[in-house]
Structure formats: structure tokens, C-alpha cells
Amino acid sequence: MSGIEIERKFLVHKAGKPYREEAYASSRISQGYICSERGRTVRVRIRDGRGFITIKGPSGADGLARYEFEKEITLDEATHLMELCEPGLIDKTRYLVKSGQHVFEVDEFYGDNDGLVVAEVELHSPDEPFDKPEFIADEVTGDRRFYNSSLMKTPFSLWRDTLPEEFR
């Protein structure tokens, strides 16, 4: 897959963890970054026993859109490439929740990012309307603190107190 990725990102109300109950699928994800420079990232991901490599370009000023290239690689290749990654891995469970015509990907983080839960929805255009599930809260699209590549370098545990209690 390659092309322009348009997505919006949100904090999630965690009370009762309703996204878990509404999810039609979930998977554990481990990922690292070979390159996490601003404007270009190269990510290696292992998800459900499958490997992927993803290259992302710079985001626009609003953080909504950027070029993304993703290719499935063998699990063996992904495991070896993980050894080349920068320090700090991302460990999370992703829940898929259907809402209207869209699917929200809700990521529940572990390790140094434990307690953080964010949701993303991919769109065809920046102004495309979508139905928000009730657990969706404040939008954080474009806030670099919530980019996975940033969470690897500056984990949520270091700045969690900057968010309201319901999001910690």
C-alpha cells in the first residue's frame, strides 16, 4: 500500500474501556523505528505474527495528511530489522471499532506509555464527515506528542500529568 494517508487522532475516554466491548477485532503490535527524524520515519512492525515495514513522509502543518508506503515482509525479516531500530519500542493493543462508514483504530499502550489510549480514523479527504463513537474525546491531530515515533523518544510516563485525569 502506498499513497497519501489522511487521518485524525483523538484521546479516548477510558472509563469502563467501552472500546474493548465495541471492538470487532484486536491485535497486539510491537514496533520500532529505524529512522524517526521529523519529516521521515521508517517503521518496522510485528502484528499478529506478520511483519511490515512502513515509510512515512512529512505531515502537513495541520498534521492531517502525509505520504505512506507500507509493505508486508516476513516475520524473520521483521525480527532482524527490529534489532536495528533506535532505542525504545512501542508495545500496544489495537482495537478495531466500526462507527458508521469508518473504522476507528483504538491503541492501548503499555510499557513507558502505559495508560495512554488514542484513536485514529482514516479518511478519504480532510473534510470528510464521520460518526464519532461515544468514547472519542479531544482531538489531538497534529500534536506531535501523540505520534508513535515521539512516544518512543519521549514516553507518556514523562508527561502524563499534563493531561486531565480522565486521560491518564
Active-site residue (options: 19, 33, 95, 147): 33
Quickly count helices (H) and strands (E) in the chain: 3, 9
Q: What is the pLDDT of residue 1?
A: 63
pLDDT digits (tens, 9 = 90+) for 93-115: 999 999 999 999 999 999 999 99
Active site (annotated) includes residue 19? no
If you compute the radius of gyration of the chain from its CA atoms, what whole number of angstroms results?
15
How sure is the predictor about 135, in pLDDT bands with cuts at 50, 70 and 90? very high
Q: What is the pLDDT of residue 59?
A: 86
Q: Cell 473504522 belongs to which residue? A: 103
Decide: helix, strand or coil at residue 150.
helix
